[in-house]
Amino acid sequence: MENESSDFISEFIREDLASGRFSHVHTRFPPEPNGWLHIGHCKAFYIDFSMAERFGGKCNLRFDDTNPEKEDQSYVEAIKRDVKWMGYDWEDREYYASDYYEYLYELALKIIRKGRAYVDDLSDEQMSEYRGTAVQDKNNITLTPPGRNSPYRDRSVEENLDLFGRMRAGEFPDGAKTLRAKIDMASPNLLMRDPVMYRIRREHHYRTGDTWCIYPMYDFQHPLSDAKEGITHSLCSLEYEIHRPLYEWFIREAEVFPSRQIEFARLNMTHTVMSKRWLLRLVQEKYVSGWDDPRLPTISGLRRRGYTPEAIRSFVSQIGIAKTDSMVDIAFLEYCLREDLNKRALRVMAVLKPLKLIIDNWEEGREEELEAVNNPEDEREGKRKLAFGRELYIEQDDFMETPPPKYFRLYPGNSVRLRYGYIVTCTGFDKDEAGNISAVHCTYDPQTRGGNAPDNRKVKGTIHWVNAAKAVAMEVRLYDYLFTPERPMETAPGKDYIDNLAPASLEVITGAWGEPGLANPPPDAKYQFERLGYFVPDPDGKPGKPVFNKTIGLRDTWAKVKGKEA
C-alpha cells in the first residue's frame, strides 16, 4: 500500500485482531456487473486489496449479480479487465453471488422457520404506504412515525414455508408476492421496517438462465455472501452505514460467520459524476461515444485518455480514507498524473494547427540531422535523430503579424530558437486570397546550431517544429471537462445534470503533423508533445494514420494552489 499512514479502518482491524474477534483479515471487492467501473470504484478496491495486503490477508473479487434486469457478462469482463489493469490480482478467489442462490434460499427457509420472515401480498405501492415515510416537524426535526403491520405479517410458519416454496416453483406472477423479514415496523430506521428479502422476477439471468424466478435483494444477499466466503471486514462506502443494522440482523438470524461491516467516505470529484446509473445515461443517450469515452471517469475512459495505474493509485493513496464525505478537486488527480507522466513520457514534437515556415537562405533539398533528447528525466531513454530542412511546420500561434507586448515568438524582425535547431529571424510572410497568413519567411544563422548564439545575443523565444517533408499526418483529439460546473449534480429547479454538460468538451483536429516516429506508435505509448501537453495513441488509429488523445496539458494548477497554501 503506497500510503502507510494511519486511518480509522486499519485501526479497527488492529483492534479486531488484538481482541481475538478475528485471527486473520479477509476482504472482498463486490461490484455489481451492471456497468463499467469508474475512479470511485478505484478507491473502493484500492482499500479492499491494500488492507488485505497490509495485514497479510486475502481479498476476493465477488460479483453481486442478483439483479438480472441490468446485469451482463460483458460488464463482468470489463470489470475484471479494469481491476487487473490497475495492478490487482484476486488469484483463484473469483466468486459470484449467483453461485450462492441455493445457499441463500436455504438460509431464507431457516429464517422463516424461526418466525422471522413472512410472505407478503402487498404491492410495492402498498408496502411503501404501510412502511411510512420520514417527515419534518415545524422545527425541521426529522421524525419517523411508526409504520403499519402488513395484514399478512402473522401468517404461520407452515403457510410461509409453503408460499415461499410455491414462489420458487413459479406459481405466482411477477410482483404478486414477496418474502419480507419480520423486524420492526416502528423502527426509526426505515430500512428495518420489514425489508424485502426476495421478489418474483421472470428475468433471464446471464449465468443461471431461467432456473430461478425469484431473486434475493441486495441487503439480504450481501451479508450472507460475505459470511459464506468468511469475509472478516466488509468495507463499503458511507451510504451503506444506515444499512449496517440490517447487515448485522441477517447475519445474526441466519447464524452464519459474523462478518463486520465498516464504512468509509466515497470519492466525490469536481467536474464529474460518480454513479454507474448517471454514467449509463450518458452512454445510452449518446452524450459520449461509449463507456471508454476519454471524458468519462470510468477506468477504461481514463486508460484511453492516457492515465496510468500508478498515477491513479498515487491519487487514491494521497486523498486518504475518511469517514466524512468531501469533494476532491480534479486538479489534484491531474497533478498526480503529471508527476507520473513527466517521468515516463517520451518527448516528441508535433504541430496541431500548422503554419509553414520557409527558411529562405537554406539550400533547397538539403537536410541535416539534429539530435534530440527523448526524456530529460530518464537518461536511459537516449536520444533520437531529427531531419531539419528548408520548409517546416510551426504552430499558427507562434507567429503574429502585429504582436502584443511581451510576445516573444515570431513576428517581422524578431528572432527565435527552433528547438534543437537554429536561431531564425522573421523576414516576412505570405497571405492567401482571404487575407490569412499562409507562410512565414525567415533566415537562419549557421553559427547557431543547437540554438546557441556565439555572440550571446538575447533570444527569448523557443518554438517547436516538424519537418514538412518528413512529417506524418495525424488526427488529434483535445478533451476538456465533460461538465462545466464543479458540482454537476447541483442544478436549478427543473434542470438535471445533463443540462450542465460542457458545450464543447471535445475538439477534433484533422490537420496535425508530427515527427516521423509517431506514424506507428505502440498502443501503450506515452508522449509529451513539447510545449503542448501529454498525448497517447487512440485505438481508432491505423498504421501510418495515427490518432492521438490529449491526456492533459503541461500547466499544473494544483501545484500553484498548493504553493500558495504552503
H helices of 133-242, where?
Answer: 157-169, 218-228
- The arrangement of secondary structure in 22-264, i.e. its CATH architecture, is 3-Layer(aba) Sandwich (3.40)
> CA-CA distance, 496 to 483, in Å (whole number)?
12
Residue given cell 442478483 in the structure block: 66
Residues of the chain with CATH 3.40.50.620: 22-264
Paired strand residues for 420 = none
Residues linked to residue 461 through DSSP beta bridges, in sequence order:
416
CA distance 498 to 416: 46
247 contacts 223 by C-beta, under 8 angstroms: yes
User: In the prediction, which pLDDT does 115 show?
Assistant: 98
Q: Is the pLDDT of residue 112 over 90?
A: yes
- pLDDT above 70 covers what percent of the chain? 97
Q: How many angstroms separate the CA atoms of 496 and 333, rounded?
A: 26
- Cell of residue 98, nine digits: 449467483
Residue 38 DSSP one-character state = B
Residue 494 burial (C-beta neighbours within 10 Å; 0-12, 13-18, 19+) = exposed
Tell me: the pLDDT tens digits for 295-350? 999 999 999 999 999 999 999 999 988 888 889 999 999 999 999 999 999 999 99
Look at residue 483 in the predicted model and tell me its pLDDT: 96
Q: What mean pLDDT do residues 377-406 have?
A: 95
pLDDT of residue 133: 87
The catalytic residues are: 32, 266, 276
Alpha helices in 345-414 (DSSP H): none
Q: What is the rounded distance in angstroms from the CA atom of residue 297 to the CA atom of residue 301?
A: 6
DSSP per-residue string spanning 391-410: EEEEEGGGB-SSPPTT--SB
Q: How far is CA 549 from CA 538, 541, 564, in A?
A: 6, 10, 31
Give the residue-averaged pLDDT of 140-146: 80
Contact by Cβ (8 Å): 231, 95: no
Do 426 and 414 meet the contact criterion of CB atoms below 8 Å apart?
yes
Residue in the structure block whose three cell numbers are 430506521: 189
Is 354 a residue whose pLDDT tops 90?
yes
At residue 562, does pLDDT exceed 70?
no
Phi-psi category of residue 335: left, alpha or beta, with phi > 0 → left and psi -120 to 50 → alpha:
alpha
- Say if strands 415-418 and 423-431 run parallel, antiparallel, or are unpaired: antiparallel
Q: How confident is the model at residue 451 (pLDDT cuts 50, 70, 90)?
A: confident
Gap between the Cα atoms of 399 and 437, Å rounded: 9
| DSSP-assigned beta bridge partners for residue 59 | 27
Domain span(s) for CATH 2.40.240.10 in the chain: 276-345+474-565, 350-464
Cα separation of 543 and 448, whole Å?
A: 37
Give 56's pLDDT tier (boundaries 50, 70, 90).
very high
- 350-464 architecture in CATH? Beta Barrel (2.40)
Which grid coordinates belong to 82? Answer: 479494469
292 three-class SS: coil
Task: Report the C-alpha gap between 454 and 48 in whole angstroms.
Answer: 61
Domain 276-345+474-565 has CATH 3.30.2320.50: no
Q: How far apart are CA 98 and CA 423, in angstroms?
A: 69
Whether the per-residue pLDDT at 25 is higher than 90: the answer is: yes
pLDDT score, position 452: 80
